[in-house]
Amino acid sequence: MSDRTRVGFVGLGNIGKPMALRLAAADGIELTVHDVVPDPVAELVAAGATAAESVAAIEADVVCVMVRDDEQVRSVAADVGPGTVLVVHSTVAPSTPAELAAQGLTVLDAPVSGGAMGAADGTLAIMVGGADDAVAAARPALDAMSSYVVHAGPLGAGTRMKLARNLMHFVAFTAATEAQRLAEASGLDIVELGRVVRHTDAITGGPGAIMHRDTTAPLAPDDFWYGVFEHVVALGEKDLAFAIELADEQGVDVPLARLALERLGKGLGLG
């Protein structure tokens, strides 16, 4: 009996192709790929994979799916063979993993974070929801494509974690556009501002720097984090107030800054 894990990969787009290339280069993986676009399939075959004419033609222990949306995920799932672990890397609606499992499939929802760059260099984070035995079956493939795999909980937990992560991601993007408008109105080079943000976030950890507690409950005064966050709030409220004052002078609308000033302390558990 072979000790190699037979993996199918469907969806060789911007992120899916480099993920599949990591699998093709991995020891212990026997890879079959499928995509409706021929060029990435040819690239994967050149890297050592086998091409399948259809999803139904894939014979594998694990089939990884990285396609555009829920409808395409459902289309792929309809043709996955019995006994196969279906690993959905696409970010789907919270209800979709359970919907697929209700059709008799063994499903893991395993969305990724890290983008095309993380996919290419194998440093993705993969957030997995599903049963322990299914996670164990898929683990060789997951490990080959990432540097951080978290079993977030039962089916659906991976998707919920990805949505929480991306809520912060895109709210932060929106805050960045607010900061750019303020900087531009103040006569600053916003390209240099971006360099400063990336430089310092690499040092401090960015928004993730405050995400160490295991609860969002209010802090007790004797809690270690109380003093830490008290300091964060004092600095944050001061700087937010100054930024809002500058925005008012420049005629720049900064609604996220005003909301942050109102909610920072409570959000950090200080009430």
Q: Which residues are catalytically annotated? A: 162
Judge whether 150 and 160 are in contact, CB under 8 Å: no
- Listed in sequence order, the residues at least 6 apart from 93 whose beta carbon sits closer than 8 Å to its beta carbon are 70, 159
Q: What's 33's DSSP letter?
A: E
| CA–CA gap between residue 19 and residue 101 (Å, rounded) | 24
Judge whether 86 and 61 are in contact, CB under 8 Å: no
Angle at 159 between CA 157 and CA 163, to 5 degrees: 115
Judge whether 110 and 88 are in contact, CB under 8 Å: yes
147 three-state secondary structure: strand
| CA–CA gap between residue 44 and residue 25 (Å, rounded) | 10
What φ, ψ does residue 128 adopt, rounded to 5°?
-115, 135
Structure tokens at 174: 């929106």
Judge whether 76 and 55 are in contact, CB under 8 Å: yes
Structure tokens at 69: 């949306």
